Chains A and B, each alone.
Chain A
Amino acid sequence: MEKKIKDIWVFGDLRNRKLFELYINVLGRAKKFAGSACGRVTAVLIGSSNTRLKFDSHRETHLQLEAAADESISRGADYVHIIDDSRLALPRADSFASVLADAVIRQGPMLVIFALTDFGRELAARTAKMTNSGLIAQCMDLKMEKGRVVAKCPSSSSGVMAEIIFSEESRTGFVTMQPAVSQTPEAQGSPGHIDWIKADHLDILEGPKLLSSSPLRETKRPLEEADTVVVGGGGLHNAENFYMIRELAETLGGEIGATRPPVLQRWVEEERLVGQTGKTIRPNLLFSVGTSGAIQYTSGIKDSKVIVAINRDKDSPVFNIADLGIVADAKTFLPLLINRVKQTMTYRKGEH
């Protein structure tokens, strides 16, 4: 049986450097998968090479098509498709989906992969629908099994991973992918051929009018951007004890987070809520103090680099996701920890 070369497309987000890096990350993961699947990776870039962008914020950060294509190749793409049209200057999920769907129908890649961003999500959803294809979301890992693509994703139940496949009749499968926490080593793609594609069948609906677009100030998302977060739960029992969470966070130069009970009891503002109905955070260091470990909460913190859990109950499920565990009553342990940290930091300051 002839081994057909499988085309794996990865959508390239050119809106700014940060989003581009997320795409490159996913490109690396696609490359790794392609290696095991006898496939090749094609970056798909959409935009306009000769139109001036309307909004200042866009102009300042948007990458140039050709430069992005070159960079994609040097960082892993074997091929690049560029869809270049003046009507595609402004990144819009509806117009991009239209031309992408057209290209997918004509060329029939095995997979089209998007980094899990707001835009990636929406573009993937639209394009999959327009091509009547399946879409697997939040993929953590891809593999080939018995000639089929198998995607590993979190399921709605706690502690359970689902493996999802595309149906037999599927021609092209769509996947949104979590950027990897650990960096995959980058290598030049080959042969590094760039294709310029015409934008046919460009249907732009009488769409919504974009009135303005400005980059959000970084300070607006302190919890999501913090390196260190201390999360307090119901196990702290009252607002006075919860104050120690603030102290620990301050001492470490981090932010405070909370699970539902402290928010319900008004010991802390709702903006601090972490978990499914609150914020998802990925700090370097996370303390989980007096929290139960329920999935509605842990799903919001599980990608933290190092998790320290402090809980009275040694069988608490929170220890299943922790790297370092302390079985102790937070009320008595926190003051000791805060002191010790303070001592250490003063000592280190003295060292420098």
Chain B
Amino acid sequence: MGVNIIVCIKSIKSTASQGQRSFSDELNPHDRATLEVALRIREDLGGTITALSMGPETFATSLHETMAIGVDRGILISDRALAGSDTLATSHVLAAAIRRLAPYDLVLFSARTADSDTGQVGPQTAVALELTIITGVCSIEQGKNSLLVERNYDGFLERYEVYFPAALTIHQSAIRPRDTGFLRIQSVFEKGLECWNHTDLGLNREEVGEIGSSTRLFSLSQTKKMRGCTFMSGSGPGQADQLVKALLQLDMI
């Protein structure tokens, strides 16, 4: 028996810290909390966890990591046609993939990613699946046949009772992710990932990628220095003096 949980994860460009080699794509740190939620539920109720990710082949590393963390199945949805997807197209593809994994009980997303803050993909995918979704969950409890979830929604602390099947977006404050170890790594690479493209999902080119999107990037521009920085001259006491004077003038102290 047990529950069939699907976790939609994302990769982000990792920051190359100076001197260290850069890991080019890494698992969105917020997804670790989301995965931890899935792991705990599986510990309590049994079942399987599948991690899904839509992106280029380099996203495979993040999926491998989710399997090392404890996910049973890792699925990468990847092909050229999917490039340039906005959240509308992405949610369309994810919904198709999730349908292919039916029957499922719980679909999880992170409320945010570390590189952008849209929080759109979860609700849009849930709409496509006609699935109940609660966003920004910061605490989860097992109810009798349900989950009791809490969230901070614009300053309101809300408490919901949610029945399967349902979707949740998890706020990373919800739970402390466990450390990842090495004991599963060998089997992760023996098992490998599954790779789906848009035709596997029964979709046409027009429904996905840039063609299937309703927003487009028009241009990118470097921001000019938004603020002009005034440096305090001199040293030590002189600088401290100047700074305090400036702050007094701005009515900041």
Contact = CB atoms under 8 A, between A and B. Distances in A.
Interface stretch (B73-81, B85-93, B186-194): B85-93
A135 B240 contact: no
9 contacts: A125-B122, A129-B88, A156-B13, A161-B223, A213-B159, A309-B229, A321-B226, A324-B232, A326-B232
Interface in B40-68: none
Given A118-B136, A324-B246, A208 B160 contact: yes
Interface of A is mostly: mixed
B135 A213 contact: no
A135 B87 contact: yes
* B: interface residue count bin: 35 or more
Interface in B233-253: 235-237, 239-241, 243-244, 246-248, 250, 252-253
A129 B127 contact: yes
Contacts of A118: 135-136, 152-154
Given A129-B127, A302-B226, A341-B244, 17 more contacts: A133-B88, A135-B88, A138-B117, A161-B221, A163-B221, A165-B216, A165-B218, A167-B213, A167-B215, A208-B163, A277-B30, A285-B247, A324-B231, A325-B232, A326-B231, A339-B240, A340-B240
A209 B143 CA distance: 13
Nearest to A127: B127
* A: interface residue count bin: 35 or more
B101 interface: no
A59 B250 CA distance: 41
A146 to B, nearest CB: 11
A174 to B, nearest CB: 9
Interface string A122-148: 101110111011111110000000000
Contacts of A209: 160-162
A243 interface: no
Contacts of B157: 212-216
A33 interface: no
9 nearest A-B residue pairs (beta carbon): A134-B214, A134-B215, A125-B123, A163-B218, A129-B124, A125-B120, A156-B115, A336-B240, A340-B240
A211 B243 CA distance: 52
Contacts of A19: 154-155
A128 B123 CA distance: 10
B155 A216 contact: yes
A202 interface: no
A306 B86 contact: no
B180 interface: no
A106 B135 CA distance: 28
Given A118-B154, A208-B162, A336 B236 contact: yes
Interface in A141-186: 150, 155-156, 159-167, 169-170, 173
Interface in B11-58: 12-13, 15, 29-30
Nearest to A252: B253
A294 B15 contact: yes
Interface in A69-98: 93-94, 97
Interface stretch (A35-43, A191-199, A327-335): A327-335
